[in-house]
Amino acid sequence: MITSRFRRFSPKILPPYFDNPKDFDKCIECETKACVVACEENIIFIEDEKPIIKFGNRGCTFCDECAEVCELDVLKVENKKEKLNAELFINLKKCMAWNQTVCFACQDVCIDRAIDFHGMFNPIINEEKCTSCGFCISVCPSNAIEVQIKGIK
């Protein structure tokens, strides 16, 4: 879900190793697209000739591989962000746990331990711990984890 107040800045999830989003314009010159090949999780794709992250079956481990192979220095390890430019949230209407079914799928896979349960049936994403890595998205049996892309200035 992308809201209009975020759309004007960055409608895509970007790899977490950039300094200025305008630097991604240099990616058009890149012929190898080495960042895509280097991504062990296979979540970096090229769209409009620029790398973006699309969550599918995996998430971002912040492994630095895409930054280490970037030939044009758009992605650099020293620019590593603590969090992707996205915010994850649980749609309470879709969430099995919020609808009184025992489910801990999102919590079990969360590498940041950012999903807290308040009681047995009330998972909440702790925004302070969550890096928006995306691993919880694919394991949710009811597709209750949703993404809101944050704008970058």
Q: What is the spatial distance between Cα 48 and Cα 80, in angstroms, rounded to a whole number?
A: 23
pLDDT tens for 69-99 read 999 999 999 999 999 999 999 999 999 999 9
Residues whose CB is less than 8 angstroms from the CB of residue 88 and which lie 6 or more positions away in sequence, other chains included: 125, 130, 132, 134, 136, 137, 145, 146, 147, 148
pLDDT tops 70 at residue 1: no
pLDDT tens for 91-123 read 999 999 999 999 999 999 999 999 999 988 999
The first and second tokens of residue 115, run together, are: 């999903």
Burial of 146 (0-12, 13-18, 19+ CB in 10 A): middle
The secondary structure element, H or E, covering residue 33 is: none
- Count other C-beta atoms under 10 Å from residue 22's C-beta: 10
Q: Identify whether the C-beta of residue 87 lies closer than 8 Å to the C-beta of residue 145.
A: no
Instruction: Please state the φ and ψ torsions of residue 80, each to the nearest 5 degrees.
Output: -55, 130
